[in-house]
Amino acid sequence: MIYIILFIISFVLTYFIKNYYIKNALFDEVNERSSHAVPTPHGGGIAISIAWFLGISYFYFIDAMDSSLYFALLVGLIISVVSFFDDLHELSAKVRLFTQALVSFLALYLLGGLESLDFYFFSLQNQIITNIFAFFMIVWFINLYNFLDGIDGYAGSEAIFLALAGYFIFGGNHFLVLVFVVLGFLVWNWHKAKIFMGDVSSTLLGYNVAIFSIYYANQEATNLWIWITLFGVFWFDATLTLYRRYKNREQLSQAHKKHAYQRLNQSGWAHDKVVIYSIFVNIVLFCLVCFISNIFVAFIMSLIFLYAIIKFVDKKKVF
């Protein structure tokens, strides 16, 4: 019953936020990074954030959620609030980066850091190195999720996939909370979107994925590779695109539309077609994780698979 309530909260809040933004002419204007053609209300992710924190708090207070995971996820409230103001006033890069660094530090403190990094042939347990890696991973996941929130339903569908995959593999009420709160928003965000998510929750979703990765890696080191494989559609596209732009000597801070999903859209694919195909890619990644006993083999296979997809996209629309 609680999941239905959270879905309704997210659904209704998104509806009222949409109407408020329309009434006050608060639109996401079309710019060089946009993949939409008309100004559309943004900030609908406020509903996701509110419903999410209500949901995990409910399970924490009925003793159905580990306290270290709960408080680490609750730190995401900071990034969500700062991103809300960023949506409204476009804060400086220094403020955003300081906030991301702060929440990364707090999260690692609450989770007890990242205990080890398992690389199949050897395990790295130097806490300085593992926590530096975890720190930058959190910061990168926050940013890349924001980068890839660019077409209708894309960021929301990825969050639902990761939450469902996490639930089937690890269990946990928090995953179902995420499914239902994002679904309530996604009803309004599916192509053609009536409202966009905004940084207020795209940054939060990226943060959550990083927290799940570290929390479950501390239970079993190889779990980190499960999350990295499952999250492959997003991190592989974002990381490879960043590298290719750097190699081309492009100004990395400049807005662009060179991510794979954006180029597919430019090639003529509608938003919903791109998202549906990304769901099929995610299903393949899930099958690799579930049916290949060696997670390192599954990870390598996922890299080959994802690189082949990028080459397909290159043929549709050159980088």
Residue ranges per domain, the chain? 2-316
Three-point CA angle 166, 202, 70, nearest 5°: 50
How distant, in Å, are the alpha carbons of 68, 100, 141, 263, 305 from that of 311? Answer: 41, 32, 23, 12, 10
CA 272 vs CA 5, 41, 140: distances in Å: 27, 19, 26
- Give the pLDDT of residue 33: 63
pLDDT category at 87 given cuts 50, 70, 90 is confident
Write out pLDDT tens, residues 140-185.
999 999 999 889 999 999 999 999 999 999 999 999 999 999 999 9
Query: What six digits make up the tokens of 250?
Result: 């492009």
Strands 117-118 and 40-41, how do they pair? Answer: unpaired
Least confident of 29-33, 42-46, 227-231: 29-33
* Confidence category of residue 96, pLDDT binned at 50, 70, 90: very high
Question: What is the tens place of the pLDDT at every residue in 257-296?
Answer: 899 999 999 999 999 999 999 999 999 999 999 999 999 9
Residue pLDDT, tens place only, 109-148 = 999 999 999 988 889 999 999 999 999 999 999 999 999 9
Token representation of residue 310? 């990028």
DSSP state of 265: H
Asked if the bond preceding 317 is cis, omega within 30° of 0, the reply is no
pLDDT at 223: 97
What secondary structure does DSSP assign to 43-93, as a single string? Answer: -THHHHHHHHHHHHHHHHHTT-S-HHHHHHHHTHHHHHHHHHHHHHH---H
What residue has token string 């205990």? 115
Nearest Cα neighbor of 10 from 144, 152, 184, 130 is 184
pLDDT at residue 36 tops 80: no
Count the neighbouring beta carbons within 10 Å of the beta carbon of residue 123. 12
Is this structure's pTM higher than 0.75? yes
Residue 27 reports pLDDT greater than 70: no
| 74 burial level (CB within 10 Å; 0-12, 13-18, 19+) | middle
Average pLDDT of the residues of the chain: 93
φ, ψ for residue 250, nearest 5 deg:
-85, 155
Tokens of 161: 């996939």
